[in-house]
Amino acid sequence: MKSTIYDVARAAGVSIAAVSQVINGKGKISEERRAEIVRVMEQLNYKPSVIAAALTGKKTYTLGLLIPDISNPFFAEIARAVEDQVDFHGYSLVICSTDNKDERVERYLSLLQQKSVDGIIIGTGIDNKEMLDTLIAKSVPVAMIARELPGDAVLTVVVDDYAGGRLAARHLLDLGHTRMAVLSEHTKVSSSRERIRGFQDELTEAGLDLPEYMVKTSGRDLVKDGKRLASELLRYAERPTALFCCTDLLAIGALQAAKEMEVQVPTELSIVGFDNTILASVTDPSLTTIAQPMEQMGKLVVDLILDKQQESPPNGTKRMVLKPELVVRQSTGRPLL
């Protein structure tokens, strides 16, 4: 059976208050008593109940993490970074894969609330912004990672998606491409929108156009849809010589399509991904991609939501934007003339 604070108190011949004190290292107790109580606790293998403590107003030491899909390597890596930092502060992490479905988001948000988590980190799109307001009204800390909310007021850690889009475009322009296409996630994903906007702006400044039929939007299964959409693009009479994919997963789909249609990468088609997940380094050819500093991002949101910033980011900072980086591998090259 599980032993309670009462068991310990009884066995040590003291009051539960005394035991509570040594658990929390507060108050004043003589060294002897404390030692004896500690001894008894160990002997009984006593572990204070977080549940009971939480009920008295203390924290649950649990954070929730909402992401589209934990089996997506990008989010798995984000989750790992978050978990490490969360653990560092003595908290646990509840994982919630939403598949970007509003219904799931809603259910999870409600669930986490009922479980009185000490904060919710969101890395998935939120349509129904009301829900967040409800949370905030109940003073549940909320922070966004890798995704933004229209308004603000919510702690946010993102990479500069717009700059990332520009980086990708710049790279392709430098290589001499002029006919480019884009594979996007569902447009309700804020980061994708920004990436495309950046990509587009860079092209425009270079005097290039990005016609609408060169931009394809995917559904939930990134790899499969990426493959399907890329084949469509590759069937155009005037097919693109370069493809910017809003995530590595989409790029992998594109890679598969190219292979299947016997279109050489990068000779006949250059492909740029986004995220720099482990996948980018193992594909063939390996993937040129825009890297996000996932580890740093994870660490940052946690410190932010827990209000434990070590550094001196101007206190009260609500929004941190990190720099993306171009990682050139083998999937991009000069277009054939």
Partner DNA sequence: TTGAAAGCGATACCAT
Partner DNA sequence: ATGGTATCGCTTTCAA
Burial 44-73 (b: 16+ CB within 10 A, else e): eebeeeeeebbeeeeebebbbbbbbbeebb
Residue 29, binding choice from DNA, its own copies, none, Cβ under 5 to 8 Å by partner class = DNA
Residue 121 lies near DNA (rule: CB under 7 A): no
User: Of 28-36, 83-91, 221-229, 285-293, which part binds DNA (CB under 7 A)?
Assistant: 28-36
Which residue from 279, 237, 276, 278 is spatially nearest to 256, judged by alpha carbons? 279
Please say whether the beta carbons of 78 and 277 come within 8 A: no
Phi and psi of 65, rounded to 5°?
-130, 115
Query: Which residues touch 55 (CB under 8 Å, ≥6 apart)?
Result: none
Which residue from 297, 309, 44 is spatially nearest to 146, judged by alpha carbons? 297
3-state secondary structure of 6: helix
CB-nearer residue toward its own copies: 7 or 160:
7
Residue 138 lies near DNA (rule: CB under 7 A): no
Position among 76, 149, 208, 328 found at the interface with its own copies (CB under 8 A): 76
Residue 255 lies near its own copies (rule: CB under 8 A): yes
> Up-side HSE of residue 290: CA atoms within 13 Å toward CB?
30
> Sign (positive/negative) of CA torsion 81, 85, 87, 93?
negative
CB-nearer residue toward DNA: 14 or 272:
14
Residue 296 lies near its own copies (rule: CB under 8 A): no
**First CA to last CA distance, the chain:** 77
Site map (CB under 7 A) of DNA, residues 8-27, x = contact: -----xxxxxx-xx-xx-xx
What's the rounded Cα separation, in Å, for the pair 250 and 229? 9
> Sign (positive/negative) of CA torsion 189, 191, 194, 195?
negative
What's the rounded Cα separation, in Å, for the pair 288 and 285? 9
What's the rounded Cα separation, in Å, for the pair 215 and 316? 39
Q: Which of residues 56-115 bind DNA (CB under 7 A)?
A: 56-58
Closest contact distance (angstroms) between CB of 23 and DNA is: 5
CB-nearer residue toward DNA: 21 or 283:
21
CB-nearer residue toward DNA: 28 or 262:
28
Residue 268 lies near its own copies (rule: CB under 8 A): no
Residue 77 lies near its own copies (rule: CB under 8 A): yes
CB-nearer residue toward DNA: 25 or 151:
25
Position among 16, 70, 175, 261 found at the interface with its own copies (CB under 8 A): 70
Residue 282 lies near DNA (rule: CB under 7 A): no
Residue 113 lies near its own copies (rule: CB under 8 A): yes
Contacts with DNA by CB under 7 A lie at 2, 4-6, 13-18, 20-21, 23-24, 26-30, 33, 46-49, 52-53, 55-58
Contacts with its own copies by CB under 8 A lie at 1-2, 45, 47-52, 54-55, 60-62, 69-73, 76-77, 79-80, 83-84, 92-97, 110-116, 134, 138-139, 223, 252, 255, 278-279, 282-285
